[in-house]
Amino acid sequence: MANPLFPRAAGVLLHPTSLSGAHGMGDLGAVPALLDWMTTAGLTVWQVLPLVPPGSADSPYASPSALSGNTWLLALSGLVADGLLSEAEVVPSPTAEDRADFAAARALKQPLLHLAAERLTRDRQHPLWPRFAQYFSEQRWAVDAGLFQAIRQQQGQTAWWQWPEPLRMRDPQALAQAREELADEVQRYVALQFLFDRQWRWIRGHARSRGVQIWGDVPIYVDADSVDTWSQPDLFQLDGHGQPHCVAGVPPDYFAAKGQFWGNPLYDWSAMARDRYRWWIARLRRTLSHVDVVRMDHFRGFAGYWAIPHDAPDATFGAWQQGPGLSFFAALRRELGELPLIAEDLGVMDEAVLQLRLDSGLPGMKVLQFAFGDTAKNPFLPHHHEPNSVVYTGTHDNDTALGWWLSTPEQQARVRRYLGPVEDATIAWRLVETAYASVAQTAVVPMQDLLGLGSEARMNVPGVTAGNWTWRLPAGVLTPELAAKLRELAATFDRLR
């Protein structure tokens, strides 16, 4: 049965860091051109990765703040338009455009972002000052996140559990002293969050004017060294010193023979239930202020999660523990109404997970790269798709369609039996056609597959910490010809809106 929140449509998966930009990485300045091209291509869903500040190895799935925005995405041109920077101060980066260079982007952007924030916070005659002052008084999470980052910097970038005990334990007197000593740094952090929200609000308005929904992504876990664990340690499985009893990961699966040792702290779901899941509700409410639909990462963790002893050598030493189940989604629905959520129901599935998705009413994910590895009973094969789902050729964790095809020769015969004649040059487009033809309400295709790119364009390799997230869109590839081809495909399979 179709879900009324998800009309039949087609979309593209592409993170803003993968766009063009003259300052080391893609930024919000390139989004309007993308949205305009999507409109001509009949693409009405733009799916992004988490918009939070990236953590270790520049991953958007390991953030120091679950509620903050990634201010490295700020378009410097927008700050010039706001009168916070001059055109003379904004110069292009000498870095290459083919890969994101996050270190170079930070080195170039940090002094300019700090300068813009300081001009806003110190000039009470600036036109944006009243709105910033209101933001500062209302968004208390941003003040707490700013204080966390300021203390962390003061303490030599050490993890919060290594701070002096009064700060680690959030002693009121110690926090009051820190707020006074670090007031400028906290104001600067909040100012940049204000500017991120301001630019993103314009992006979202532009998307709506083009009839495009923005789909976001919420990682199930937060980073161990985050404002979330420091400010509310009782909601996590931590000892009195901030150290986890067990950590998150997954058992052996398609991606890793020894499973994945993520290392994130696990939630204390009993404590969260007693608190009526207020932390999660605030997190989703904040995310839904930026996007129209949220992909719930690692959905199976809400049914049962893999708990690994923190000192285990790898993820195979973990064990399943019971998650919050349907009561969690019922609590969300009471506070947020109908849930515009997608269940990332991939990985090791069992009956409990499948039943939770059905009971919660959330659409699941069908990934075509997973469809051809075994028998005709494979649930990812198109003849098993259902309307209340989203079909993908692959996700940010997969190789590109072409890379997958070339690396799995044992599956090629099964693909040809199912799809008909397929060669290296046509596999990506054949999977795109197959996704569009599915009965799944929404078809979302990574930009790399729309372009037919190989493994060099892969976004992420799970379990590998270096070299991910850096792919960028080559110049000049979003052509009118490709847009026309996609629009015709959308019309053929009733995906124009």
Residues forming the active site: 297, 344, 397
* Owner of token pair 């999977």: 431
Question: What is the rounded (10 degree) CA torsion for 262, 264, 268, 269?
Answer: -50
Report the alpha-carbon distance of residue 376 to residue 418 in Å, rounded.
10
Of 453, 449, 413, 448, whose CA–CA distance to 430 is shortest? 449
| Residue 265 dihedral angles phi and psi, to the nearest 5° | -65, 145
- DSSP letter for 84, please: S
Residues linked to residue 390 through DSSP beta bridges, in sequence order: 365, 442
Residue 294, H or E segment: strand 293-296
361 within 8 A of 314, measured Cβ to Cβ = no
Cβ neighbours around 46 below 10 Å, total: 25
Question: What is the rounded (10 degree) CA torsion for 334, 338, 340, 346?
Answer: 70
Q: How many residues does the chain have?
A: 497
Of 349, 461, 472, whose CA–CA distance to 407 is shortest? 461
* Owner of token pair 């809400």: 302
* Owner of token pair 């378009």: 75
Of 244, 100, 237, 91, whose CA–CA distance to 161 is shortest? 244
